[in-house]
Amino acid sequence: MQIIARLYALSKRNVILRYKNSLVGFLWGFIKPLIYLLIFIVIFSAQFITVSNYVLYVTSGLIFWFFFSNLTAQSVQNIISSAGLIKAVRMPLILLPLSELLSELFNFLLTLMVYFVVMYWFGMQYSARLFLLLPCIVLFSCFSFGITLVLSSVNVFLRDVGILWNTIQPALFYLTPIAYPASMIPERFVFIIRYNPIYYFIQLVRTVLYESSALSWTIWIQCATLAMLSLSVGLFLFHKLKNQFIAAI
Amino acid sequence: MQQYKMEMNDKLILVENLALSYWHNNVGVHSVKDLLTLRKNPFTLKPILHDVSFELDKGQSLGILGRNGSGKSTLLRAIAGIIKPQKGRVVVNGSIAPILAIGAGLELELTGFENIKLLLALYGQSKNMAEQINDICIFSELSHEVLNMAAKCYSAGMLARLAFSISLANDCDILIIDEVLAVGDKGFQEKCVQKIYELKSLGKTIIFVSHFPDEVEKLCDKALLLENGTIINQGNVNTICNQYRQLF
């Protein structure tokens, strides 16, 4: 019970801190992908006439990408910026990254609501299939949380990790077929997306939000495996390092 | 287990052969060569505390003295359970109030009220939240207008008032004070000292770190002197305070 109260208080802190002194607050969660969409339409659209319903294709990938990118970018600094709390309060340290996940999820769900309304004009089909988004979000959260744990705990000792992550994020974004169709990638570069775990999750999301073809089990199993792998590596590393956080912050 | 319980019956705090070391980071631009050649481990273990043992009975108060960097704050954190001991054990037979240190745990971007709610939730409440917030407002003597401001606008004294009031909001058996009484104006300092004596007279235990041996002599029943992470002497408060005075 106390754990839930603590988690709630920490997540609330994150939400308050994020949009302090901001005019539109949580709506940024939706405006950000929209701005990206406009950029893509201006730059790329003529090239990708082949993709049917380009807006839906891009936004479905973008909102999930931004969930991942916001979460990891913010929680890289999470442990370091909570130094005051860690030194003063006795609590399970895992609550700190977990609260980041929860506040980002909260943000994401609000974005999703706006998304569902706006996408009506872009030809989204409402069906019972959309409920499959729930397990998608759970799996993607587990995956992102694992990455978060690795980044936030290693960054305490080697601050290079945070800088490196923020630098390679745009590269990771363009290496994932979010703004362009995967079929556009030349044969000899296909291995790049094959080893890009985020690609699998974006694909999974698209089978729910964008495509209407039959569902395949393979992609679900692939994503579940990736999520479990990331989560277990993250938890292992975090528990190895957490006792020494206080020495480095 | 049975025997262990017996032994803990009248002891409030038992620290046995406590050892703690921190990772010391050697990584830096000067050491890229070392990193590449793998000659030197980028992290070395730096011992902070070693072989620290003491015990404290219920209702006794303990003063901790020592030079800067002798491991006092680390020892307090180990007692409060914030750091896990690498060797030895720390057993505490009661509830501990959050450590009173300057600005402890306050989030500067949040307002006073938001800070109060956050910290109360993190510390775990024993009483009704609204009642506790009211107590904090009264004790800190900060107006509602001030508490609605971001904590970054506060002066050091106001931060100390807020931190002190939040730490005292819960009923706990043990109060840990880490050299905080120096900030705050005279009125608040006296109020804090008065509050501490009041808690002591109620039978609470106070662990007090200070650089003023006179205050330690007044407040504490026992004292220990830390030097380079070990206890060099412990026992009667007057003896220890005199020894501390002779260090300088």
- Structurally, chain A folds into a number of domains equal to 1
**Percent of residues, chain A, with pLDDT higher than 90:** 41
Query: What residue spans of chain A are helical by DSSP H?
Result: 2-18, 28-43, 54-76, 78-81, 83-88, 95-118, 133-157, 160-175, 190-194, 197-209, 217-241, 245-248
Residue B78, domain CATH: 3.40.50.300
Residue B223 placed within a domain? yes
**Contacts with A12 from chain B: Cβ below 8 Å:** 118
**Tokens 């007692």 map to which residue?**
B79
Same domain flag for B6 and B87: yes
User: Which residues in chain A have Cβ-Cβ distances shorter than 8 Å to B101?
Assistant: 87-88
Q: Where does the pLDDT of residue A249 fall: very low under 50, low under 70, confident under 90, or very high at 90 and above?
A: confident
Residues A44-95: tens digit of each pLDDT: 766 666 777 888 888 889 999 999 999 999 889 889 888 888 888 888 999 9
The answer to whether position B193 is within a domain reads no
Per the structure, the complete domain to which residue A230 belongs is given by 2-248
* Domain extent for B215: 2-14+55-97+210-246
Q: Are residues B59 and B125 in the same domain?
A: no
pLDDT of B30 reads 59
Q: Which amino acid is at A29?
A: G
Verify that B7 and B82 share a domain, yes or no: yes
* H or E stretch covering B174: strand B174-178
Average pLDDT, chain A: 88
* Contact yes or no for B83/B75 (Cβ under 8 A): no
A188-239, pLDDT tens digit by residue? 888 888 899 999 999 999 888 888 777 788 999 999 999 999 999 999 999 9
The token pair that represents A210 in the structure block = 């964008």
B63: left (phi over 0), alpha (psi -120 to 50) or beta: beta
Contacts of B105 in chain A (CB under 8 A): 84-85, 87-89
Q: Do A247 and B99 touch (CB under 8 A)?
A: no
Asked if residue B177 belongs to a domain, the reply is no
Of A8, A17, A85, the CB nearest to B109: A17
pLDDT tens series, chain B, 248 aa:
444 544 556 688 888 889 888 888 766 655 566 666 665 666 788 888 988 999 888 888 899 998 888 888 889 889 988 888 888 889 988 888 777 776 667 888 889 999 999 988 888 776 688 888 888 888 888 888 999 999 889 888 888 888 888 888 877 888 888 876 666 678 888 888 888 888 888 888 889 888 888 888 888 889 999 998 899 888 888 999 989 888 88
Cβ neighbors of B245 (< 8 A, separation 6 or more) are B213
Q: What is the ipTM of this complex?
A: 0.82
Q: Order of strands, edge to edge, in the sheet holding B43-57?
A: B43-57, B11-25, B87-92
Q: In terms of domains, do B7 and B87 share one?
A: yes
Q: Which two tokens stand for residue A45?
A: 């659209």
> Could A88 and B99 be called an inter-chain contact, meaning their C-beta atoms sit closer than 8 Å?
yes
Q: Does the distance separating the beta carbons of B119 and A16 come in below 8 Å?
A: no
Residues of A (147-166) whose Cβ lies below 8 Å from B: 157-158
